[in-house]
Amino acid sequence: MPVPESARKRFLETEGLPIIAVLLALVIVFMIAAPDVFLGYRIYMSFLATVPPLLVLAAALTLLIAAGEIDLSFPSVIALSGWVLAYFTHVLGSPWFGLLLALVAGGLVGWMNGILVARIGVPSIIATLATQFLWGGLTTVFSQGLSYSLGEVDQYLLWQLLVGRIGPFPVQALWSLAVAGVLWLVLNRHRFGEHLLFIGDNARVAEVVGVNVEREKIRAFMLMGVLAAFASVLLTFENRSFFNTQGGGYLLEVMAAVFIGGTSVFGGRASLVGTVAGSFIIGMVEAGLVATGLQGFWVRAVVGVVFLAAVIGHIVIEEPERRSAFVRALRARYDFVRKSSPGGGSRERRGAR
């Protein structure tokens, strides 16, 4: 019996479906290429320990990109909030204060970004590039360029709650998935998320339908700051140490995770399910490729290929107009080649010039 058209359509429209398929395909490829590693559970536990900071960052950035904005300053929040956590936990003797102050610091950085972008009107790519330098630099000043080792930190209850293990299972995986789940609800079911989508779609339209564009943008940047701080806490606790360069590698990976997941770079459309899958793809590909014995420098190239394939896949599935335009263009080219082949089309070709 043929599958009814509507059911097929609904299945294809399931949020993040193509990218989930890519993720599963990758797992299968790795299982075949490196069965010793990928048929055991350890490698997956290791992903679940290392992907959460990336996932939290990517999920938060998804909302900001939905609103048509970008944040390039979150790597500095990872450094700054990590330092705040380490320093104040040490000075005040309680990681709870450290956590609280780290989140506050992230929120303040986000608030400043929001003011610069929404109130003063600096484009977010420029404003957050500047604040990235500012806070990154200040963190090095605060920490005097030193790294802190937090050897005893796993004695704290808070550490157990945030990055402890249930058997082999890392707790931070639950926290990061919970963050992504809540953000999904906010984006898709809450007033605030709807406002962000309309702002990203067309800020002028958002304004005339009664959205307080300035306020909502500031909120979105603050949310990004607070969640970047939370990601930093997970990272710093998991590593049991603070480096003032600890945010550095995240910028491109987080953006890749968001865009692999199918969120539109133009705003107004975003998929958190896609971002979750994209984060695991990014987190997994590197470790996975190394496990298959591929040489290090190949790894990045393969990431690039997966990235491109995913992005093209989204266009093919989600933008049928563009796909058909592409097919038409191909066909026209093919016809042209046929017509201008010997005997047939030299005159036509001259005519076309």
Partner 1 sequence: MSEAAPMESAAQSFRHVVRLEKVEMTFGKVQALSNVDFAVGRNEIVGLLGDNGAGKSTLIKIVSGVLRPTAGNVWVRDRPQDPDQYSVRKAHDLRIETVHQGQTLGEKQPLWRNLFVGRQITGRFGFIDVKKEKEIADQLLRRAIGFRGHGITADSTVLDLSGGERQGIAIARAMYFEADLIVLDEPTTALAVSEVRKVLAFVEGVKAGGRACIYIEHNLAHVHEVADRLVILDRGRVVGQFAKGEISLADLTARMIALHEGRTHAGA
Q: Which residue has the tokens 């290392």?
A: 50
| 322 lines the binding site for partner 1 (CB under 8 A) | no
| 208 lines the binding site for partner 1 (CB under 8 A) | yes
Of 8 and 189, nearer to partner 1 (C-beta) is 189
In three-state secondary structure terms, 109 is helix
- Contact present, 217 and 71 (Cβ < 8 Å): no
- Tell which one of 85, 211, 222, 254 touches partner 1 (CB under 8 A): 211
| 201 lines the binding site for partner 1 (CB under 8 A) | yes
Q: Which of residues 99-138 bind partner 1 (CB under 8 A)?
A: none
The span of 123-131, 143-151, 165-173, 187-195 binding partner 1 (CB under 8 A) equals: 187-195
The span of 34-42, 83-91, 109-117, 209-217 binding partner 1 (CB under 8 A) equals: 209-217
- Tell which one of 109, 187, 197, 257 touches partner 1 (CB under 8 A): 197
Of 201 and 286, nearer to partner 1 (C-beta) is 201
CA distances in angstroms from 76 to 52, 102, 246, 250, 333, listed in the order given = 18, 12, 9, 10, 49
CA dihedral 58, 61, 66, 68 (to 10 degrees): -140
| 204 lines the binding site for partner 1 (CB under 8 A) | yes
Helix (H) or strand (E) holding 140: helix 124-142
- Tell which one of 32, 39, 92, 205 touches partner 1 (CB under 8 A): 205
Query: Nearest-CA neighbor of 104 among 81, 86, 74?
Result: 81
Of 167 and 210, nearer to partner 1 (C-beta) is 210
How far is residue 275's CA from residue 87's CA, in Å, rounded to a whole number?
A: 32
- Give least dist CB 69 to partner 1, A: 16
In three-state secondary structure terms, 267 is coil
Q: DSSP label at 186?
A: H
How far is residue 329's CA from residue 77's CA, in Å, rounded to a whole number?
A: 46
How far is residue 216's CA from residue 209's CA, in Å, rounded to a whole number?
A: 14
Q: Which residues pair with 329 in a beta bridge?
A: none
| 349 lines the binding site for partner 1 (CB under 8 A) | no
The span of 42-50, 100-108, 145-153, 191-199 binding partner 1 (CB under 8 A) equals: 191-199
Query: What does the per-residue mask of binding to partner 1 show for 261-290, with x meaning CB under 8 A?
Result: ---x---xx---------------------
- Binding region for partner 1 (CB under 8 A): 185, 189-192, 194-195, 197-198, 201-202, 204-212, 264, 268-269
